[in-house]
Amino acid sequence: MTGSTRTEDWKAEWQPVIDAVGRDFSSGQTVFGADPVERGAIRRYLEPLEFDCALHTDPEAARAAGFDDVTMPYTGVLTWTIPPMWRPGEVLFDSDERDAQPVRTPINNQDMPLGPKTTGFFGTDIDIDFVRPVVAGERIGRRGNRLLSCVPKETSVGRGAFLKWESDVVTENGEVVARIRIGTYAYVPKNETEASDD
Amino acid sequence: MTDTAARQRYFEDVAVGEELPSVAYPLNVYRLVMAAGSNRDFNSIHHNTEYARRTGAKEMYANTSFLLSTWERCVRDWIGPAGTIRSIRGFRMRSFNYVGDTLRVHASVADARVEDGAGVVEIAIRGENSSGVSVGPGTVEVTLPRRGEEQE
């Protein structure tokens, strides 16, 4: 098999995904974050950033600014919409291999029903429109998961595709608090593609 | 005047071209682990060097949520508590921000205008590490209170 043929083969595997551009991959239901926004989790979010703003730490200051409680940092729309890693009754870890991965995780490309199986995954770009701040006590989730684009590309880390997704961030009442367009790169790492080419 | 009021920036104080104070984030394992634990991105590429190397990276590297929030902190430090953030655009991760490096967020005022009575400021922003611009450049659109609003 020639190199160019192999190139066509791996790109062709992404065609079903390219054909699905425009499709909403959500089940039609809002996927909510594991927990409501709460003061302790906000405080922990601020720590590695050394992020000092009274709106996020001081309920009195937040109330003086017109909010019912401290507010979530705007960029928390990513964190507070992540579903739980584990639910009662589930097995999360089934291996003592040093770098074993959890049985399932909401942070990867596992739920993608189309295209090649990928093991590498990272975010590439984000655009967000914020409608209003989210306040402690509220719970937020992602509504919709529309695929906007799919561009297969080989990069320095492997072969895969750049995918762009769009969703609304909503409260439990369905109020839109933000709109997100997020790009990801799902790929097969180079060491794995080299092994499969041999 | 309260401390909060003292830290508040007003639209009338802003000049296009003005630079915001830069913020430096030394990226060590401790910080990346704290970031993963607090922002819930537990992908091993962000806290496990061996795993990250098997995915083609040179080292573990900072996660998306952390990088995005470094922009928010830089902007919030400057706009004060009465400012609001309307949008983030052009947040693009151009290269990995590896452990052992320092990420520096730089920003400046790109535009300032009154829009439907609101003081709107566009901030040009980017993250740089030892290899150059690693995040962005993008823009954060914010609103600032106007001095006249205090008496209204």
Rounded CA separation B45/B37 (Å): 14
pLDDT in tens, B83-130: 999 999 999 999 999 999 999 999 999 999 999 999 999 999 999 999
The closest CB to that of A128, out of B45, B77, B87, belongs to: B87
Domain range annotation of chain B: 14-151
Chain B residues touching A64 at Cβ < 8 A: 4
Range of the domain at A46: 38-71
Q: Clarify whether residues A58 and A12 are in a common domain.
A: no
Q: Clarify whether residues A190 and A135 are in a common domain.
A: yes
pLDDT in 10s for each residue of chain A, 198 residues: 445 555 568 999 999 999 999 999 988 889 999 999 999 999 999 999 999 999 999 999 999 999 999 999 999 999 999 999 999 999 999 999 999 999 988 876 667 789 998 988 888 999 999 999 999 999 999 999 999 999 999 998 899 999 999 999 999 999 999 999 999 999 998 877 565 544
Domain boundary among A55, A71, A87: A71
Residue A14 is encoded by which pair of tokens? 């992404």
Q: Clarify whether residues A110 and A78 are in a common domain.
A: yes
pLDDT of amino acid A121: 84
Chain B residues touching A157 at Cβ < 8 A: 55-57
Q: Clarify whether residues A67 and A90 are in a common domain.
A: no
Nearest residue in chain A measured CA to CA from B136 = A125
Q: 0.80 exceeded by the pTM?
A: yes
Q: Clarify whether residues A45 and A137 are in a common domain.
A: no
- The share of chain B scoring above pLDDT 90, in percent, equals 91
Residue B52's nearest CA partner among B32, B79, B77 is B32
Say if residue B2's pLDDT is above 50.
no
How close, in Å, is residue A73 to chain B by CA atoms? 8
Residue B112 has phi, psi (to 5 degrees) of -145, 130
**Homologous superfamily of B14-151:** Hotdog Thioesterase (3.10.129.10)
CATH code: domain of residue A25:
3.10.129
The closest CB to that of A54, out of B43, B65, B81, belongs to: B81
Rounded CA separation A78/A65 (Å): 24
Q: Clarify whether residues A150 and A183 are in a common domain.
A: yes
Q: Clarify whether residues A160 and A81 are in a common domain.
A: yes
ipTM of the modeled complex: 0.94
Q: Clarify whether residues A126 and A62 are in a common domain.
A: no
Cβ-defined contact of B40 to A79 (cutoff 8 Å)? yes
How close, in Å, is residue A98 to chain B by CA atoms? 10
Question: Is residue B138 a contact partner of residue B72, using CB atoms and an 8 Å limit?
Answer: no
Q: Clarify whether residues A18 and A105 are in a common domain.
A: yes
Residue A103 has phi, psi (to 5 degrees) of -60, -40
> What average pLDDT does the structure give for chain B?
93
Q: Clarify whether residues A82 and A176 are in a common domain.
A: yes
Domain boundary among A52, A71, A90: A71
Q: Clarify whether residues A42 and A132 are in a common domain.
A: no
- The answer to whether B152 faces chain A, any CB pair under 8 Å, is no
Q: Clarify whether residues A161 and A115 are in a common domain.
A: yes
The closest CB to that of B81, out of A49, A55, A101, belongs to: A55
Q: Would you tell me which residues 92-151 of chain B have a C-beta closer than 8 angstroms to some C-beta of chain A?
A: 92-93
pLDDT of amino acid B148: 77
State how many domains chain A has.
2
